[in-house]
Amino acid sequence: MAAAAWASGFLNALMHTANTFSLPLCHGNALGQFFCEIPQILKLSCSKSYHRELGLLAVSASFTLGGFVFIVFSYVQIFRAVLRIPSEQGRHKAFSTCLPHLAVLSLFLSTSLFTYLKPPSISSPSLDLAVSVLYSVVPPALNPLIYSLRNKELKAAVWRLMTGWFQKH
């Protein structure tokens, strides 16, 4: 599954990059944006060739929808298995592991969808920047934190570090 995700991601990026470099830009080449994202580049294009990019976005959206369906199906199976755990403590431990990941996934998906599906009328550079940071920086930063906070020794070390810092200041 990981190899398929990497391969499809690479192929998707390759298609969009090749198409983007073939677009003629007549509105300059400066983006007031944190990332060089496809919707921002399409705003700079002056030809009707952006329809190719919209077609590629539709293909990408269908692949993304397939991945989303697979993720939802996986979480349904996980929750069904967790609900079959006989002990309350076991279910609580399993849910405390799954729910933070589900929250990070929801943050990533909702901000990504907002970025690509919002109407152009509510687009502003500051809003685009904030949403871009939300879906590109926050989820990857939260995943290691979620995994590491499950470790009791790491929790204790962070607690000692924080209490020591507060005592000094």
pLDDT, tens digit (0-9, with 9 covering 90-100), for 68-77: 888 888 889 9
The rounded distance, in Å, linking the Cα atoms of 32 and 50 is: 20
84, 111, 138 — which closes off a domain? 84
Of all residues in the chain, the percent with pLDDT exceeding 90 is 1
Higher-pLDDT residue of 50 and 18 is 18
Instruction: Provide the domain count of the chain.
Output: 2
Taking residues 46-69, what's their average pLDDT? 75
Q: Comparing C-alpha atoms, which of 50, 19, 137 is closest to residue 11?
A: 19
Range of the domain at 65: 1-84
How is the chain split among helix, strand and coil, in percent rounded to 5?
80, 0, 20
For residue 161, pLDDT over 60 is answered with yes
For residue 149, pLDDT over 60 is answered with yes
Place of tokens 């926050």: 138
Place of tokens 């399993």: 94
Convert the pLDDT of each residue in 119-145 to its tens digit.
777 777 788 778 878 777 888 888 777
For residue 34, pLDDT over 60 is answered with no
Asked if 131 and 123 count as a contact pair (C-beta separation under 8 A), the reply is no
Higher-pLDDT residue of 81 and 157 is 81
35, 64, 84 — which closes off a domain? 84
Specify the pLDDT at position 102: 82
Specify the pLDDT at position 31: 66
Of all residues in the chain, the percent with pLDDT exceeding 70 is 82
The answer to whether residues 50 and 5 belong to one domain is yes
The answer to whether residues 125 and 139 belong to one domain is yes
The answer to whether residues 18 and 97 belong to one domain is no
Pair of tokens at residue 91 = 């279910």
The answer to whether residues 2 and 79 belong to one domain is yes
For residue 61, pLDDT over 70 is answered with yes
Specify the pLDDT at position 142: 80
The amino acid at 39:
P
Specify the pLDDT at position 36: 63
84, 113, 133 — which closes off a domain? 84
